[in-house]
């Protein structure tokens, strides 16, 4: 029995949710999102909440149950609060700046890295070494942050690179003489 899947998704006031077949549409103050769930789960509205149940007791249905519920929960959270991730840049001469609709990164390479910002994301460079990414879709926020972090992941010896603000870098000791 899925501990996550069996919880109903409460719809807060000011949020509108529609279920038609396998498609769940959620509309709130920040925007509108929708997701189409797999055929192995049954989704329905009950008492102002969205309920996700497995179609049968097969392994695949039970596997998709908790994930499907989480996808719907992420829609509700996205249209009410949104998602935010913060990236920190560590290293001498490493910095970020906005260049129109692009994020420009100076990461010790022979050239500046210019990364386009996808539609629906709000990217702010609060300090030259801090990037705040926010949006209503959790997957797009996470994907953008992972792509930016991928240009210069943090290294374990000096800790240089781009890391998430809540990430811990396990530091290694250098060579001994």
Read off the pLDDT of residues 64-102 as tens digits, 9 standing for 90 and up. Answer: 898 999 999 999 999 999 999 999 999 899 999 999 899
User: Which alpha helices (H) appear in 54-134, and where do they start and end?
Assistant: 59-80
Answer yes or no: is pLDDT of 1 > 80.
no
Domain at 9-80, CATH from 3.30.413.10, 3.90.930.12, 2.30.30.100, 3.40.50.970: 3.90.930.12
9-53 confidence digits (pLDDT tens):
889 888 888 888 889 999 988 889 999 988 988 998 888 888 988
Residues 71/31, Cβ–Cβ less than 8 Å? no
**Between helices 59-80 and 138-151, what is the axis angle to 10°?**
90
Question: What single-letter DSSP state applies at residue 85?
Answer: E
Q: How far apart are CA 33 and CA 75, in angstroms?
A: 6
Q: What is the pTM of this model?
A: 0.88
Residue ranges, comma separated, of all CATH 3.90.930.12 domains in the chain are: 9-80, 83-164
Answer yes or no: is pLDDT of 5 > 90.
no
Phi-psi category of residue 128: left, alpha or beta, with phi > 0 → left and psi -120 to 50 → alpha: alpha
The CATH H-level superfamily of 83-164 is: Ribosomal protein L6 (3.90.930.12)
């Amino acid at each position: 029995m899925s501990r996550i899947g069996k919880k109903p998704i409460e719809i807060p006031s000011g949020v509108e949710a529609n279920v038609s077949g396998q498609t769940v549409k959620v509309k709130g103050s920040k925007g509108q999102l929708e997701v189409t769930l797999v055929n192995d789960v049954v989704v329905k509205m009950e008492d102002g909440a969205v309920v996700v149940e497995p179609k049968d007791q097969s392994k695949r249905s039970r596997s998709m149950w908790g994930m499907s519920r989480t996808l719907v929960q992420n829609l509700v959270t996205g249209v009410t609060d949104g998602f935010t991730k913060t990236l920190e840049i560590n290293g001498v001469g490493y910095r970020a700046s906005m260049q129109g609709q692009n994020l420009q990164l100076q990461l010790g390479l022979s050239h500046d890295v210019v990364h386009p910002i996808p539609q629906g994301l709000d990217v702010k460079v609060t300090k030259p070494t801090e990037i705040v990414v926010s949006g209503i879709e959790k997957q797009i926020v996470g994907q953008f942050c992972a792509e930016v972090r991928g240009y210069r992941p943090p290294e374990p010896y000096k800790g240089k690179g781009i890391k998430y603000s809540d990430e811990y870098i396990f530091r290694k000791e250098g060579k001994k003489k």
